[in-house]
Amino acid sequence: MANIFDVAKYILEQKGKMTTWKLQKLCYYSQAWTLAWTDDPLFEEDFQAWENGPVCRELYDAHKGLFLIDTMDLREGKSTELTDDEKEMIDIVLESYGDKLSDWLRQKTHEERPWQIARGDLQECEHCEVTITKDSMREYYEGL
28-69: pLDDT as tens digits: 999 999 999 999 999 999 999 999 999 999 999 999 999 999
pLDDT in tens, 122-135: 988 899 999 999 99
Domain range summary for the chain, segments of one domain joined by +: 4-142
pTM summary value: 0.97
* pLDDT band at 106; cut points 50, 70, 90: very high
Q: pLDDT by residue (tens digit) across 67-79?
A: 999 999 999 999 9
**18-19 and 68-69 as β-strands: parallel, antiparallel, unpaired?**
antiparallel
Could you tell me which of 35, 142, 25, 43 has the C-alpha nearest to residue 83? 43
72-79 contacts, C-beta under 8 A, 24 or more apart: 74/5, 74/8, 74/9, 74/12, 76/3, 76/5, 76/9, 77/3, 77/4, 77/5, 77/6, 77/7, 77/8, 77/9, 78/5, 78/6, 78/9, 79/6, 79/9, 79/10, 79/13
